[in-house]
Amino acid sequence: MPRFFIHHVTKYTYPEPVRDSANQIMLYPVKDENQEVQSQRITITGEPFVEQFRDYYGNEVGSFMHISPHTQLRIDSNMVVITKPIKFPTDEIAIEQQWDHLIQIGNVVPYIDFLKQEFFNALPEVKQIADAGFYKSVSVFVAVQQLNTYVYDNFDYIKGITSVETTLDEIWKLRAGVCQDFAHMLLVMLRLLNIPARYVSGYVCPHDNDLRGEGATHAWVEAYIPFYGWLGLDPTNNCVVNDRHVRLAIGRNFSDCSPVKGSYKGVARQTLEVGVSVSGEDGPGPRPDSSVLTTQVVTGKLEDGAGDDNSYRRHLQMVQQQQ
């Protein structure tokens, strides 16, 4: 069973003091039969009280305020996680019965939430591709792998070409992007075939740098397989998720799973740095010095005051998830 040491740093620097920083963090790994959190320590500038709760989808969420004036806010998460090998579907159930089952659960909670399709202009074109495939002539397990491979083969992995604000139409036209773009396109295709699909944020833990997505939070998809349950698919790396991915949160799309988001009052400029370091059992543990991390920097204007959709949140999400 792989054991991973993960260090996730988020740091904001402001040219002048800001105040009333209200933040929400989704940095707590999932705890279930396939993933054990041995330890976790989160430290935040000012040592604010973090109120923890579970959201609608069962994710553990933290909420905190940093009221006093400050020119820097740093959120440090150090964790040790053990992942366990996953037993994959065996396809013992008849193919027709599997697809019939998906129709039966189409209006059942919680699957209904993960079947809602976001409309975009190119949706009919994407549907033609899904309908033209032979997906329903094979088992659901085989079909989701075929769609996973389709996204991997037909989209180029290019950092910086998209942002969190890039639309599905733009991604479809570009045929390129990063992990969250690959995940969103796979979500669309799975839902077009009545397969419930949910967005997953977390970390990819490569061996010898053989997987895309190292050095940042990663994104992939979980599809519902009849008579089995949720199965992870990583279209960025064309693989079925096993014990080298660490899950943080699940939701309908990226907006449900952002690792950090918030707002503040004060100066309208900021610099944001984010870094993730992952090492295995035989490698070095996480170090407290952010200089050892792969760091990205974004400088952008912010709106004064609070707001759920200000540029602070958008820029923050962009850097957190774009790998």
Question: Could you give the 3-state DSSP secondary structure of residue 228?
Answer: coil
pLDDT at 131 over 60: yes
Strands 239-240 and 245-251: unpaired
Q: Is the dihedral of CA 139, 142, 143, 144 positive or negative?
A: positive
Q: Which of 124-133, 173-182, 314-323 has the highest mean pLDDT?
A: 173-182
* pLDDT value, residue 319: 42
Question: Could you give the 3-state DSSP secondary structure of residue 57?
Answer: coil
The pLDDT-based confidence of 235 (bands split at 50, 70, 90) is very high
> With DSSP H G I counted as helix, E B as strand and the rest as coil, what are the percentages for the chain, rounded to 5?
25, 35, 40
Contacts of 108 (CB under 8 A, 6+ apart): none
Place of tokens 């639309």: 167
Residues of the chain with CATH 3.10.620.30: 95-256
Output the CATH code of domain 3-83+260-321.
2.60.40.2250
**Cβ density class 108-133: b for 16+ within 10 Å, e for less:** eeebeebbeeeebeebeebeeebeeb
Range with the lowest mean pLDDT among 24-28, 124-128, 197-201?
124-128
- How many C-beta atoms surround the C-beta of residue 227 within 10 A? 13
Please state which CATH class domain 95-256 belongs to: alpha beta
| CA of residue 108 relative to chain centroid, distance | 24
Per residue in 166-175, pLDDT (tens digit) is: 899 999 999 9
Residues of the chain with CATH 2.60.40.2250: 3-83+260-321
For residue 165, count CB atoms less than 10 angstroms from its CB and return exposed for 0-12, middle for 13-18, buried for 19 or more.
exposed
For residue 52, count CB atoms less than 10 angstroms from its CB and return exposed for 0-12, middle for 13-18, buried for 19 or more.
exposed
Largest CA distance in the chain: 64
Question: Could you give the 3-state DSSP secondary structure of residue 283?
Answer: coil
Q: Identify whether the C-beta of residue 217 lies closer than 8 Å to the C-beta of residue 319.
A: no
The pLDDT-based confidence of 293 (bands split at 50, 70, 90) is very low
Whether the full predicted model's pTM is greater than 0.85, yes or no, is yes
Mean pLDDT within 10-21: 92
Place of tokens 């959120």: 75
Q: Which two tokens stand for residue 164?
A: 């969190």
Per residue in 241-285, pLDDT (tens digit) is: 999 999 999 999 998 998 988 889 987 678 888 888 888 875 544
Per residue in 61-114, pLDDT (tens digit) is: 999 999 999 999 999 999 999 999 999 998 889 999 999 999 999 999 999 999
Place of tokens 């899904």: 130
